[in-house]
Structure 1
């Protein structure tokens, strides 16, 4: 409820600012149209007139872009001069409509406040009239507030239609993103293979070599007590090798993710961490397998990095969903200064990008470090 009220206030302010810019946009469109009409058949003159016209148009559009972002409408921009002028030629109508909606809302709120004040603090001679006026004003306020959201959404759609990239440009951008994410996935797979090889070589393989040497010495030993001691050491090495092999297998892919779901897998990450991890789970159902896998590795890698490098005393993991976006947020109270371009976080960014997601790293020196992954899901 509080978030809805805050968003409504931001949209109302945006509509008021948009209504104010009509005083600049409307004269600009009229004067620009007259100027361009006068030099319509003169190419050189048309170019000279277009330069200052487009300079002002870009300034107005940049103001509109900041205003729309303030209201929560954030999208890619890619427009030419013609589409920019078309947008300004139409936008002032929505500016006036927004001003009317806000005025109606303020009028309704004022009348409701007046009616409630009169009813509470004065003697009402005609209570039915005051009640009818208050109810009508309350209804007007309700409709006006709904209209605030409607006009703001309509203005965002108008801006996206005229100022957003064309279908052809959007397809080219999409193809470039897919090519980049595919290359990133291949690189991430190769990095993961190298890491697995390094873990096996430096850990399990060394344990098995030591185990073989101990067994060989036990076989060759002529002292029974010494042979028993060597066998005891070999048994300890075999148990350690098995533990490390399980660790490697867990890092490759945890079976609990398929058997019990993402929540159980993240709870296991929290239990295995050397630093206390508090998990907040706000989903009503498990996400699909591909999304759950990426979310798991984001949390696992972020927790591992925090334990190794940040000297954190506590880590918080929050899994939430906003519409079709799964949000995974990991925050630690460590030293901060994490390098977003480092191999670990860069590999996570490539994993997230493969699902058309977005990874943000906020790690000022002194902390805290916050890693947020936003993953599209059905």
Structure 2
């Protein structure tokens, strides 16, 4: 849609109020403690105004900016994944009464979500979860119940962290207008925060639903000049990224690297703490926990996030298939950057860099991919 407008910074309150008036639960970035997290947004004051972040391998810190940017940070500590796919949820409840045992399936019953400020990498991660959890024959009913009716206000990223590599993955910093798998619009509204020569938001309409919301708030018409200013913001952000993965070669590199000595090197550093999978916006592995009360009259089945770095994750009768850290790291990165493509037709990494920032020992997925590539090339030339 060729509908471009200007939204003044003080118009954010009007946007949030309009979304809430339409019955949406507005979810976006907010400062909690020493991190920017994804949570409920009731007004613009809940957004991280004037707050930036510094991320490096094994490092995450907030900093005070010298301006009033509302989205002047790279990405929240956690993505939007828990909004639609929570870390723990009840699948069913059972109760025994008078000799009978009844089971009641738990179904989410909550207002539709309006994502505010979702970054391009995280928006792509939601699309990947749509394909994995909602678009296959055996779909995730709980995910679909939370995901249905979502209104998306994406925000183009102008402040990449040192850990970001979305440009090389083709997932940002500016979100694609359409989902590459479904060709459906990827967002209802797209905001780009422009700080020079004056603080304003370039608003681009992506859907008719987005147009209805834009028509209901205070905006002014704009044209190609404003859109180009928005594009310049994300072009400059992409140019500042220093990390990358070669997506043209990584699939075959990993397929050829099953016995690479690099796995021993990374295993000597990896703690198998599961941090990388917990902050990853696309990881979706879960396990089941059953609980009951002491009387045995009430029982619940819970679904909780799991990780392929856990020893019990690959357990079958007799023991785990991947009993050492070497095998678990190889499984994780190979699935993320190679076999995920074989399985789902896309890569399982969006370049957000969270696995790098939140790794206690600073293991860098881009560094490991590059090292494996160099070793595979050397092995093939001998």
Whichever of the two has the greater Rg, that structure is 1
Give the structure with the larger strand fraction. 2
* Structure having greater relative contact order (Cα 8 Å, sep ≥ 6): 2
Question: Same fold by TM (over 0.5)?
Answer: no
Provide TM-score, normalisation by structure 1: 0.23
Provide TM-score, normalisation by structure 2: 0.23
Give the structure with the larger helix fraction. 1
